[in-house]
Amino acid sequence: MQLWKSLMLALSLGLAATASANQGVAFVHGTGNQSDAYNDYWTGNFINSVMSGNGSRYVVINCNFDKFMWDSAAAGCLAGQLTSFIQNQGITSLYVITHSNGGNVVRWILSNPTYDSRYPNIINKVRQVTALAPSSLGTPLADAVTAGNVFETTLGWILGYASDAVKQQQVSWMSYYNSAYLYGTSGRPALPKPFKNVVGSDVDSAIWDSDSYCGGYQYQVSLEVTQNWLDSCSDGFLNCTSQAGAGNLWFYDKNRTAGKEPLSHHQSRRQCFNLDRILRDDI
């Protein structure tokens, strides 16, 4: 009997190790045509901190998210890179971390399993999606950029000017897409896998406050300006209601961050106020 118990214990430990070994993490960027998202969008410090203790199986997506979410260069590219990662690494459980408009591209795949033959296997492998400041309900700033006013120059670094993706994130356009093509918003079918949101609620740019420099002070100043055209609860690019508009709320920044600091839209993809550690522990 003792030998049998020992064999069963060894078997269970072996299975657990195998399951753990087959977990992977995907980092899915937001708006922009990326060729080196590891350095240019997330930074290596952020990714390496998130992955510390979580194995070595991860993929950093590089796609053209200046296109509409369903475009072959956007969702098609994402599906291709995720499929290659899953097949090459033998991934059985995929934890997805995405930011901003990347959440819309991921939701397109989760919501439209028959659109592409690669989608069902990806959906089957996804364990959950953690969406950092997703633009699920769009943003008034996309409307402003499309109209061609001052935001086009002020937010060119984050919006990519009047690209298809920016047009897509206009409030009325996202309302239509959510009602017709995407799951997870109010009154629509639930997404097939958990989609949990981290919501950024404010921007700090006081020159005397060291927290304003996390991720780059110049971005804080720009987002502080654009916040004047948004709700009082916003990250400088998105209203809180948009960030929490699809899936389920995980937490508002100040409820979990070190020092109860807010996360601006730029800081929510940086190693700021223990965000990286929170994600690491969740994986």
pLDDT at position 191: 98
Phi/psi of residue 195, nearest 5 degrees: -130, 100
Which overall architecture, per CATH, does domain 21-282 show?
Answer: 3-Layer(aba) Sandwich (3.40)
Would the pLDDT of 232 be above 90? yes
Contact 134, 168 (CB under 8 A): no
Nearest partner of 111 among 179, 58, 29, 200, judged by Cα: 179
**CB atoms inside a 10 Å sphere around CB 171:** 15
State the average pLDDT over residues 43-60.
97
Nearest partner of 203 among 262, 260, 159, 257, judged by Cα: 262
Which residue type sits at 107?
Answer: R
Per-residue pLDDT reduced to its tens digit, 147-172 = 755 555 555 545 555 789 999 999 99
DSSP bridge pairs for 27: 60, 97
pLDDT at position 146: 79
| Domain spans in the chain, listed from the N-terminal domain onward | 21-282
Strand 93-99 relative to strand 58-60, pairing: unpaired
DSSP bridge pairs for 221: none
Dihedral sign, Cα of residue 113, residue 116, residue 122, residue 124: positive
pLDDT at position 15: 44
Phi/psi of residue 162, nearest 5 degrees: -90, 60
Q: Which residues of 11-21 are buried (b: 16+ CB within 10 A; e: fewer)?
A: eeeeeeeeeee
Per-residue pLDDT reduced to its tens digit, 125-137 = 999 999 999 999 9
Q: Where are the beta strands (DSSP E) in 65-167?
A: 93-99, 126-132
Q: Where are the beta strands (DSSP E) in the chain?
A: 23-28, 58-60, 93-99, 126-132, 195-199, 248-252
Orientation of helix 171-180 relative to helix 140-147, angle to 10°: 120
Per-residue pLDDT reduced to its tens digit, 63-110 = 999 999 999 999 999 999 999 999 999 999 999 999 999 999 999 999
Q: In the predicted model, what is the mean pLDDT of the chain?
A: 90
Cα separation, 22 vs 244, in Å, equals 30
